[in-house]
């Protein structure tokens, strides 16, 4: 995009990638023996939303994993990560390169998917994206 903005003539860059406003969708979920392979919807992004970060904080949830993705790819943003001890995961630390800056072509739910075992405890998340 920098090359586009400094070219002669200047090429158009979409607003969400150049001086766009970041937006946040926050969610808190209380799991109680939620089975492996379950999806937790934590945000509904509009078409055209570009994801820049997802942050997830969690209690010690058991000997399980959580991945972060959407209906098209269960771990588009963060691959399966152990949640056996209380902690956090984020795209900026554990994220997948193809998820950073990913533009959703349609309205999309961001999903936390459980793996390996059932989970019980609190999960809090923030999805940071731009749409302008």
pLDDT tens by residue, 46-61:
999 999 999 999 999 9
CA atoms within 13 A on the CB side of 88: 11
Residues 96-113 have a mean pLDDT of 95
Least Cα distance to 113 among 71, 51, 52 occurs for 71
pLDDT for residue 12: 77
| 90 pLDDT more than 90 | yes
Chain centroid offset of residue 31 CA:
19
- Cα distances from 89 to residues 6, 56, 78, 112, in angstroms, run 36, 5, 8, 12
Which of 5 and 100 is assigned the larger pLDDT?
Answer: 100
Please tell me the pTM assigned to this model.
Answer: 0.87
Run of H or E residues at 122: strand 119-130
């Amino acid at each position: 995009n920098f090359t586009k903005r400094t070219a002669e003539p200047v090429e158009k860059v979409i607003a969400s990638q150049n001086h766009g406003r970041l937006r946040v969708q926050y969610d808190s979920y209380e799991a109680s023996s939620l089975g492996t392979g379950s999806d937790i919807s934590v945000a509904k992004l509009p078409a055209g939303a570009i994801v820049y970060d997802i942050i997830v904080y969690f209690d010690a949830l058991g000997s399980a994993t959580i991945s972060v993705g959407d209906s098209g790819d269960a771990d588009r943003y963060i691959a399966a990560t152990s949640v056996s001890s209380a902690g956090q995961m984020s795209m900026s630390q554990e994220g997948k390169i193809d998820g950073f800056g990913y533009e959703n072509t349609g309205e999309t739910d961001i999903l936390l998917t459980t793996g390996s075992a059932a989970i019980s405890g609190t999960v809090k998340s923030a999805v940071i994206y731009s749409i302008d």
